[in-house]
Amino acid sequence: MKTKIIGHRGGVAGYPENTLAAFKKAVELGADGVEFDVQLTKDGEIVVIHDEFIDRTMDGSGLVKDHTFAELRDMSVGEFFSSEFKNQKIPTLREVLEIVKDMEIINIELKNHLSYPNLETKVLKLVDEFKIRDKVIISSFNHYSLEKIKKIQPAIKTGALLMAKIINPADYAFKRGFDALHMHFLTIDQKTIEKAHFMGMKICAYTVNYSESVVDLLEKGVDMIITDNIEMIQKLRKNAKN
């Protein structure tokens, strides 16, 4: 089993998160997949952005959901990182899928702590339009949303995002029909990996940027590693046993 390398928000060192520039580079580097976050604008466009507030990465302020797509598109999402990327604009899910559709794994994280009407249905519609159902994993910290996804389209893979070390995560996810546990890397133990595998589920570790942890997780046999530095993990995986 070879652990898959997934670029976190694109996951390329030196590139701003969740930008078309980062996703293009991740494809060029030969990552197995990418992870990115989706939300809805005021006028219902699915956009790729991490924070619910635009303040950190854009030259505006307030919630994503209180801005129209046109308003957001007027701002830069790369300048906060470096002037080199000042022309990067907030991407739509469609634009990102155009770039990453041939990758092995496409991890769409529904960033919906806030309520986004019909986000699940809208995302699934686009997944079907691109005919990428087999390679998509939909993850979320909002597990109600994952249940909704499974109800609408049982064949779609779902990953339950966990931050805390909960009791019996494998039982928890299995009972709800989820396909994977996307766990904070420090909370992953061998017993959970084995139990999840026994139950037919996968383990994805996020967000791993420290070489010691990477080596440990590769040895433990996690299925996926989400990282901000694809190239670093590729080198470590090359030298690893699994």
Nearest-angstrom CA–CA distance, 174 and 155 = 15
Letter for the amino acid at 113? Answer: H
Q: How far is CA 4 from CA 1, 174, 230, in A?
A: 9, 22, 10
226 binds, among Mg ion, ligand G3P, none (CB under 5 to 8 A by kind): ligand G3P
Nearest-angstrom CA–CA distance, 82 and 151 = 42
Give the number of other CB atoms < 10 A from CB of residue 96: 24
Q: Which is nearer to Mg ion, 32 or 37 (CB)?
A: 37
**Cβ-closest position to ligand G3P:** 206
3 binds, among ligand G3P, Mg ion, none (CB under 5 to 8 A by kind): none
Residue 50 annotated in active site = yes
Minimum distance between the CB of residue 163 and ligand G3P, rounded to whole angstroms?
8
> Which positions lie near Mg ion, rule CB under 5 A?
37, 109
Dihedral sign for Cα atoms in the order 106, 51, 145, 2: positive
Q: Which is nearer to ligand G3P, 34 or 218 (CB)?
A: 34
Q: Which is nearer to Mg ion, 8 or 67 (CB)?
A: 8
Q: Locate 101 and state its tokens.
A: 């559709």
* DSSP sequence for 122-174: HHHHHHHHTT-TTTEEEEES-HHHHHHHHHH-TTSEEEEEE-S--SSHHHHHH
> Which positions lie near ligand G3P, rule CB under 6 A?
8, 35, 37, 50, 109, 139, 161, 182, 206-207, 226
Query: Which residues are bridge partners to 205 per DSSP?
Result: 183, 225
Q: Which is nearer to ligand G3P, 99 or 180 (CB)?
A: 180
Minimum distance between the CB of residue 107 and Mg ion, rounded to whole angstroms?
8
Minimum distance between the CB of residue 70 and Mg ion, rounded to whole angstroms?
25
Minimum distance between the CB of residue 214 and ligand G3P, rounded to whole angstroms?
15
135 binds, among Mg ion, ligand G3P, none (CB under 5 to 8 A by kind): none
Catalytic residue IDs: 8, 50
